[in-house]
Amino acid sequence: MRRRALVLLVAAAACSKAPPPSGGPAPATSAATSAAATAPPSAAAPPAPASSAAPAAAAPPPVDACPAGMQHVPGGVFWMGSLGVNDEESPRHRVALPAYCLDTYEVTVARYRACVQAGACQAAHPDKAWCNASTTDKDDHPVNCVDWHQAASLCKHEGKRLPTEREWEYAARAGAEQRPFPWGADPPDGRSCYSHAGTCKVGSYPATAYGLFDLGGNVWEWTDSWFGTYPGPSDAGTLKVYRGGSFSRRFPKWMRNALRNRYRPDEWGAHLGARCARDLDPGACPEGSLPLEGGGCRATGEPEPPRRAPPAGPTTPHASATATREPAPPAAAPESSPVSITRDPRFDEDCRRYKPRRPVAYLVKGGGFGDRQKAKGACENRDVGVGFNSVCCAQ
């Protein structure tokens, strides 16, 4: 009797040490993903996209689980655009978004190379200064010199997609926090890779909202959205929106979260790269919003956003025109006022510092952006804006 009890005791102990039933690892939680984001990905082995096929015995993943290398962006309602800055950012309007996933880092050279080696991506354009893919020591820098089609192919290969313009601005603003810059209200010095000779290693600066790095600076990031007038998104167009500022920007204004920029899908430059997004539960509209017929969410109290046709071309110049190493933008339609060129000694010191061969500042006003580009001749842009070019000239 005593021996039989001992046998039963040993059997019970063995059962208590048995491994759990098979069925695959538990899905990663958003907290685990955030912890993994504290160190940049290895250049030699970038994180592989999570497989969409789950073991048959595994429970379905929670709706807020994002794969490794991505961060959970909670759904919410925020104000998009700005007041009184320029027509492109107006009218300011409320936008509701369901939760989604966003890459922790910008797409790196190593990550893009893996897509090329898999036959899913075309090689990045290598034939311009500052293009990272043509170097051998920048695997952990953002890939640049990729057009919209190439960026979209990378995201598709990883089972992801490019973010919409709304998703990008929501993440940069930290949702309802309405941050003017991804890191807050402070200027970008020491917080972003800008005014810099070339790109920086991803993750070189502190993470911004939701554990995301380099939303402002390093490289601008393609979105999936067509450029059009606010508030409604455009169904089609000729120009795709990109956001975030780049390493070559010298003025904090180019890091603003509300700033919009655009290119044709086949254009590219050293200033431009990508970050991918992924859906969670597109039908789960956040509190304070209602589902829209055909998908999407609408902030409560806001009219349904109209689907707007895109304009024939840009109404203001590209931000990328402020640096000579970034591609020039398409010309805007001519304006009614004639072009004028006047001396502007306020910026002589800036010209002497940054354009030593062209130390004298002038202001070019009127006409369209293309008209001003022609009028400035051999002078170089130091800054541009709606209706003006600030240029540095030899005399």
Please write the tens of the pLDDT for every residue from 277-331: 999 988 899 999 999 888 889 998 776 655 544 444 433 333 332 332 333 333 3
Instruction: Let me know: does 222 contact 143? Beta carbons within 8 Å.
Output: no
Q: 184 in the Ramachandran plot: left (φ > 0), alpha (ψ -120 to 50) or beta? A: left
Radius of gyration of the chain (CA): 25
Answer yes or no: do 85 and 192 share one domain. Answer: yes
* 2-42 confidence digits (pLDDT tens): 344 433 333 333 333 333 333 333 333 333 333 334 344 44
Do 245 and 197 fall into the same domain?
yes
287 in the same domain as 364: no
Any domain includes 27: no
Q: Are residues 78 and 176 in the same domain?
A: yes
Residue 12 lies in a domain: no
279, 313, 347 - which closes a domain:
313
Better-scored residue on pLDDT, 306 or 45: 306
Chosen domain end from 259, 286, 313: 313
Q: Are residues 255 and 180 in the same domain?
A: yes
The answer to whether residue 342 sits within a structural domain is yes
Report whether pLDDT(212) > 60.
yes
Stated as kind and residue range, the H or E segment containing 288 is none
Is 216 within the bounds of a domain?
yes
Q: Give domain status of residue 104, yes or no.
A: yes
Distances 317 to 168, 265, 297, 314, 383 between C-alpha atoms, Å: 21, 17, 31, 7, 11
pLDDT tens, residue by residue, 222-269? 999 999 999 888 889 999 999 999 998 889 999 999 999 999 999 999
Task: Say if CB 216 and CB 181 are below 8 A apart.
Answer: yes
Residue 336 clears pLDDT 90, i.e. is over it: no
- Are 341 and 264 contained in the same domain? no
* β-pair partners for 269: none
Q: Is residue 356 part of a domain?
A: yes
Per-residue pLDDT band for 367 (boundaries 50, 70, 90) equals: confident
Residue 133 lies in a domain: yes
Please write the tens of the pLDDT for every residue from 115-147: 999 999 999 998 777 899 988 899 999 999 999
Q: In this structure, which amino acid lies at residue 224?
A: D
Indicate if 127 and 93 belong to the same structural domain: yes
Question: pTM of the entire structure?
Answer: 0.73
| The total number of structural domains that make up the chain | 2
Same domain, 278 and 341: no
Per cent of the chain over pLDDT 90 is 60
> Which residues have CB under 8 Å from 3's CB, separation 6+?
none
Quick one: 194 and 338 in the same domain? no
CATH of residue 113's domain is 3.90.1580.10
Q: How many other CB atoms sit within 10 Å of the CB of residue 69?
A: 22
Decide if 57 is inside a domain.
no
Q: What is the pLDDT of residue 305?
A: 55
Asked whether residue 279 falls in the same domain as residue 151, the answer is: yes
Residues 300 and 343 in one domain: no
Which residue range forms the structural domain that includes residue 270? Answer: 32-44+62-313
Query: Within a 10 A sphere around the Cβ of 250, how many other Cβ atoms?
Result: 14
- Where does 130-184 show beta strands of DSSP type E? none
User: What is the C-alpha to C-alpha distance for residues 169 and 19, in angstroms, rounded to an integer?
Assistant: 46
For residues 308 and 380, membership in a common domain is answered with: no
Choose one of 313, 341, 360: the last residue of a domain.
313
